Amino acid sequence: MKIILNILKAFLINLCLIGIIFASESCPSISPKMAEDTPSAQVEAIFDNIVCSFIDLESKSNGTLSSTLNLTKKKIVPYIDLEYSTKLALSTYWDQLDSRERKIFERDIKNSLIEDYISILANINNWKNIDVSVSDEIIINENIARVRLTLSLKDSSESASVILSLVRKNIWKIYDLEYQSISIMSIEKMGYDSKIKRQGIDRLVDNMLNKP
């Protein structure tokens, strides 16, 4: 189970995950831009693309932190709605911020997720053994969708399910991931709420600006 949980933690960066069982045999993958414009099809394409890219990286024995970071920025980050995620994490504080300050918080969330999980992604060495499946029961309410998926390893009874939350503006993007009733953005929200109550929002923004 530890391997499964570590993979799930790693996937929190992209806050993504998949659709319809696929494995290394599905490579090369379909670009999300070419996939059907539905939550399940987009999630499948996003993660098919991610897994295939990491399989390719692994086959070249190039799973360094630097190469993993570059791949994450290219294959994962573009499919996260950072603005919507940040708005959710900041809750009522969002309306107190100007556009510049909002971008500072967006950058902070992106950097925090990458810093927390990039080493986990770099250390996964069994991408070919990962299977992901999406449930047919997808909840859609206007421009918000919830997609349940299951992550498992080939030839293993271990598995874990997560729920992805997506929002559609011009395309579907992922903004949250929930595991065992705990969502990543709810954790981020508690963290920001605590910091703002201790420091004040202006001081917190200054501290984030002064980060190296």
- Counting as low any pLDDT under 70, the low residues of the chain are 1-30, 57-75, 116-130, 153-156, 158, 212
Mention every residue, 6+ apart, whose C-beta is less than 8 A from residue 152. 4, 130, 131, 132, 133, 158, 159, 160
User: What are the boundaries of each domain within the chain?
Assistant: 2-209
pLDDT (0 to 100) of residue 19: 28
pLDDT digits (tens, 9 = 90+) for 11-69: 443 333 322 233 334 465 667 777 788 888 887 777 777 777 777 766 666 555 566 66
Give the closest residue to 176 by CA, choosing from 107, 102, 93, 113. Answer: 113
Residue 126's pLDDT is 64
- Tell me, which fold does domain 2-209 have in CATH? Nuclear Transport Factor 2; Chain: A, (3.10.450)
* DSSP string covering 98-163: -HHHHHHHHHHHHHHHHHHHHHHHHH---GGGEEEEE-S--EEETTEEEEEEEEEETT---EEEEE
How high is the pLDDT of residue 5? 44
Check: CB of residue 102 under 8 Å from CB of residue 82.
no
Which pLDDT does position 116 carry in this prediction?
66
pLDDT of residue 136: 72
Q: What pLDDT is attached to residue 115?
A: 72
